[in-house]
Structure 1
Amino acid sequence: MARAENKETAGPATRLVANVARNMRVQKGWTQEQLGSEIGFTGAAVSAMETCAQPASDQMLVELERVLGGGTGIFEEARTHVRLDKYPAQFKNYALLEQKAVGLSLYATLVVHGLFQTEEYARALIGGGDPPLPEERVEELVEARMSRRVLFNREPVALIELILEESVLRRTIGSEEVMRAQLLYLVECGRRRNVTLQALPLDCGLMGEHAGAYGEMNLVETPEHDHLVYLEPQEEALLIKDPAKVSTYAQRYAKIRAQALGPRESLGLIERLAGDQQ
């Protein structure tokens, strides 16, 4: 069931798609049920999209472009912006930076970084959050999170580094089956030529040093080669642009990288942990 509150909080791209699709449908003389039949959705789904009760999914936008777009590309162009409308407010600015970045250096301490999550892992994580979310909102957020994967295959290529605490790899989210699939997906990602994946071992602090003690971070290099840091403590957002502060985070990240296992050792550890989930 679509959420009524979406009608009041829908973003500009969601509203634009709703208005354009409605006007094009009316010009063709189609009912909502007829348009739904043409694009493979129910009339109720078309109604929810047109009233902004439920933003159009990626697949719906693809089909709207095919059936109504007429070569204009308007629904295709809207896909990125509708995705942004689905993100939590504090994440939207970073989402734009992430998709345009030429380089990302990521450090995750509690759960697998969102960019690297499987659909099942993300659904278990989002659905198990507090306060509980309606099922429709969970699916909306899962879809939005999965859409971030386009960065892996984007041209020009983005160089992505991810350091995960070993505890993240050992923490079961959802079920053993879900976790095993997540671990195997990390291995798949780590074998990409534009991805470097490392694990920070549990015993990294035995000598009294743990450079990652202050928590996770996202370092971003923009197409203009500016360097930024994004932090998200307790669902709050902090975007740091000051060069001196960014330099401090970059140095800290370099230390964390030095304390982590090498990429080959890290993938070996993840594969062994995946085997333990069987």
Structure 2
Amino acid sequence: MQYFAAVLRILREHAGLTQEELGELMHYTGSAVSAVETCAKPPTDEFIEAAEKALDANGLLRSAITFLRLERYPVHFQGFVQLEQDALSVSSYCPQLIDGLLQTPQYAREVLGCAFPPFDEEEVDLLVAARMDRKALLDRKPAAVVNVILEEAALRRLIGGPEVMGQQYAYLLECAARPNVVIQVLPMSRAGHAGLQGPMTLLETPDETSMAYMESNGRSILLSKPDEVGVLARRYAMIRSQALGPDESVSFIEQLMGEL
């Protein structure tokens, strides 16, 4: 981010433009240009594309997009998201909220809007865009295998109200129809189950190393020791066996849609 800011400033000054003049060419304010040059705000893809064209940068600024996307994520999440994007498989257990990989923009915006301390509107926009960027692993070649176990409570919590949840249910069904995605629901009728100790995500890296990730209240733990990851992998397998099967889970989500 600091390097991009320095390059942007050098190109702007070489073109003989003030921040206000560059902002006008880009259809942004001068203060928006200043915020990026001082690293107060990370640039969006749209900002970078506008600067690329306004400064005729020959791809120099555009080439930074992939790297700068990491800056949109909270610091504690940046290491995980790099691993996630290259993973052969991602398996998550989500007791409270729908997995970020499977969230709609509207649902993600409502979730982020509940954060405390609150984010400002621009921060929410950046975080939503970053969360949507993670979906690239669903469509890449080869696509990652994604397994998600959702607690019934996470599905019944009407984040954003019936309209937002209706869109979210529909998107889950769309994802479940993908050949590389399996969604299972852990019903509340399963009162005692192996997932009561909290959420987790398991990853298989390109070199077939297994890793585990856990997060709570802005803190995260990334595990790579085989014995520690093994315990969580076995726990995940038990949770999966206690959840509804994929077809039953799809029917369950369709039922929830009908109840809205």
Q: 2:252 aligns with which of 251, 269, 275?
A: 269
RMSD: 1.9
Structure 2: gaps spanning 5 or more residues: none
* Residue in 2 that maps onto 1:3: none
Following superposition, the deviation at residue 69 of structure 1 comes to 6.0
Gap change, CA 1:42 and 1:263, over 3 Å in 2: same
Q: 1:216 aligns with which of 179, 196, 199?
A: 199
Q: 2:177 aligns with which of 160, 167, 191?
A: 191
SS of the residue corresponding to residue 47 of structure 2 reads helix
| Structure 1 stretch displaced more, 172-181 or 38-47 | 38-47
Following superposition, the deviation at residue 142 of structure 1 comes to 2.0
Following superposition, the deviation at residue 58 of structure 1 comes to 1.7
* Residue in 2 that maps onto 1:246: 229
Report if the CA contact (8 A) 2:193-2:239 is conserved: yes
Matches within 5 A, 1:61-140: 61-68=48-55, 70-72=57-59, 74-140=60-126
SS of the residue corresponding to residue 106 of structure 1 reads strand
Following superposition, the deviation at residue 157 of structure 1 comes to 1.6
Supply the AA of the counterpart residue of 2:228. Answer: K
Normalized against structure 1, the TM-score is what? 0.86
Structure 1: gaps spanning 5 or more residues: 1-13
- Is the aligned partner of 1:152 residue 2:138? yes
SS of the residue corresponding to residue 123 of structure 1 reads helix
| Structure 1 stretch displaced more, 36-45 or 138-147 | 36-45
- % identity of equivalent residues: 44
| Cα shift readout 1:120-167 (whole Å, capped 9, x = no counterpart) | 211111111222233332333222222212222122321111110111
Gap change, CA 1:76 and 1:274, over 3 Å in 2: farther
C-alpha separation between the residues in 2 aligned to 1:262 and 1:77?
43
* Residue in 2 that maps onto 1:52: 39
| Cα shift readout 1:14-66 (whole Å, capped 9, x = no counterpart) | 22221112211222233434433444433332232222222110222233344
| Structure 1 stretch displaced more, 228-237 or 77-86 | 77-86
Following superposition, the deviation at residue 79 of structure 1 comes to 1.9
Which consecutive aligned stretches of 4+ in structure 1 deviate over 6 angstroms post-superposition? none
